[in-house]
Amino acid sequence: MRQTQLFTKTRREAPRDEVAKNAELLIRAGYIHKEMAGVYSYLPLGLRVLNKIVNIIRDEMNAVGGQELLLASLQNKETWERSDRWDDGKVDVWFKTAIKNGNETGLAFTHEEPLTNIMRDHIRSFRDLPIAAYQFQTKFRNEVRAKSGIMRSREFLMKDLYTFCRDEKEQGEYYERLKEAYVRVFDRLGIGAETFVTFASGGSFSKYSHEFQTITDAGEDIIYVDNTKRIAINKEVYNDEVLSDLGVNKSDLKEMKAVEVGNIFNLGTKFSDALGLNYKDENGESKPVFMGSYGIGPGRVMGTIVELRSDDKGIVWPESVTPFAIHLVLIEGKDDKARNAADRLYRELIAKNIEVLYDDRSLSAGEKFSDSDLIGIPKRYVISDKTLASGSVEVKDRMTGKVEMVMVDSVCK
């Protein structure tokens, strides 16, 4: 993409009403637009990053047998009354609105109920199980505090997967497969080193659930980390009993701030009992389906990456989620020599299916470099009269700042 064609502009000043570093940098670099408190739109650069995150998650969900679908946002009140989660006293994040026929509807903040209800039409016998179904879908939550930028918004994309199994054992096995898939997801997203499988409260069906918590001061959670064992305990459940369950010593734990980027949950038969989701076992007996739910917030992940991978100049994207692999920056000279060379290299890179953002604008080197630092593409190629004097391109690593001169002819080899 040529930067002269990119409609978004960078800006020098931080937006005045934004306190979160992630949103501040993403707005300044033109990735997102703040609609209102806790509500953000994704602009072309932002959507490219979001889609990369989504595709890594999708790949790993497909690898464990997940089938993708897309559920409705508007919710049927009756479905939620059956699980007793319609009442605002039970769930305090609902956005609800009236339908013109006098009925009420709510905007989905999660999808256990509607999917359990759908599965009643499709699950009959033990032969149908297990099933894993997932989606990338917009959730709405009337969050009280929305001061963490895209890490906690009132409208956000969620990957939610649900498993449907014959019994506790099968459900437990699927849960382990998903836990491993989640470890791979966060590794591939470039935040594996800071992300810990964290024991959290489990609800009525299992003692613990597992959160994937990423260490950052921008996080709203407190966790206790055992760095050697690579596990952590959420403060909410931190006590002597949990320590002995997990076989960890108090002295090995470090208190840290973290953000929950993912969450996996054994649901048991809570929703299948409430909504009547049963199957016939080998003996023709009716049994309730065992369920699990597994969430990741791609927007929250994107915000977390920015919190972790940025410096005073801007963002430093990991290669796996960068909007473009290369930022090609032309520094114009007195004649067309540099522009012609940059145009040619751009075409060659495109022909090799390499994703390039080409800064072909007529601006000063200083303006272009500071924009490039802000946007944060990990690899920068600079072409100027000076680099061409030795027939080369300057290749700069955004993270280390290391510079290398590479012959123009060999860049695409």
Interacting residue ranges for Mg ion, rule: CB under 5 A: 260
Which of Mg ion, ligand ATP, none has residue 314 at its interface (CB below 5 to 8 Å by kind)? none
Which of Mg ion, ligand ATP, none has residue 378 at its interface (CB below 5 to 8 Å by kind)? none
Shortest distance in whole angstroms from residue 403 CB to ligand ATP? 37
Shortest distance in whole angstroms from residue 47 CB to ligand ATP? 16
Residue 214 or residue 392: which is nearer to ligand ATP going by CB?
A: 214
Choices 68-76, 165-173, 231-239, 257-265; region in contact with ligand ATP by CB under 6 A: 257-265
Instruction: Look up tokens 């032309």; give the residue.
Output: 330
Shortest distance in whole angstroms from residue 93 CB to ligand ATP? 8
Radius of gyration of the chain measured on its C-alpha atoms? 25
Distance CA 138, CA 128 (A): 28
Residue 4 or residue 201: which is nearer to Mg ion going by CB?
A: 201
**What does DSSP assign to residue 388?**
H
Residue 325's Cα: distance from chain center in Å? 19
H-helix or E-strand containing 129? none
* Beta carbons within 10 angstroms of residue 22's beta carbon: 27
Residue 141 or residue 309: which is nearer to ligand ATP going by CB?
A: 141
H-helix or E-strand containing 245? helix 240-246
**How is residue 301 written in tokens?**
């992940």
Q: Between 179 and 218, how does the x/- string for binding to ligand ATP read (CB under 6 A)?
A: ----------------------------------------
Distance CA 288, CA 29 (A): 51
Residue 219 or residue 323: which is nearer to Mg ion going by CB?
A: 219
Shortest distance in whole angstroms from residue 245 CB to Mg ion? 20
Decide: residue 308, CB within 10 A, 0-12 exposed, 13-18 middle, 19+ buried.
buried
Shortest distance in whole angstroms from residue 221 CB to ligand ATP? 7
Shortest distance in whole angstroms from residue 263 CB to Mg ion? 5
Residue 148 or residue 392: which is nearer to ligand ATP going by CB?
A: 148
Decide: residue 12, CB within 10 A, 0-12 exposed, 13-18 middle, 19+ buried.
exposed
**How is residue 34 written in tokens?**
């703040």
Residue 44 or residue 202: which is nearer to Mg ion going by CB?
A: 202
> Helix (H, G, I), strand (E, B), or coil: what is residue 185?
helix
Residue 212 or residue 369: which is nearer to ligand ATP going by CB?
A: 212
Query: Does 299 participate in binding ligand ATP (rule CB under 6 A)?
Result: yes
In 3D space, the residue among 23, 60, 93 whose CA is nearest the CA of residue 187 turns out to be 60
| Cα angle 114-117-122, degrees, rounded to a multiple of 5 | 125
**What does DSSP assign to residue 14?**
P
Q: Which of residues 142-181 bind ligand ATP (CB under 6 A)?
A: 143, 152-153, 156, 158
Amino acid identity of residue 261, one-letter, is V
**How is residue 158 written in tokens?**
């969620």
Choices 58-66, 255-263, 362-370, 393-401; region in contact with ligand ATP by CB under 6 A: 255-263
Distance CA 277, CA 291 (A): 10
Q: Between 278 and 297, how does the x/- string for binding to ligand ATP read (CB under 6 A)?
A: -----------------xxx
Query: Does 141 participate in binding ligand ATP (rule CB under 6 A)?
Result: yes
Choices 45-53, 125-133, 224-232, 258-266; region in contact with ligand ATP by CB under 6 A: 258-266
The contact set with ligand ATP (CB under 6 A) reads 110, 141, 143, 152-153, 156, 158, 260-263, 295-297, 299-300
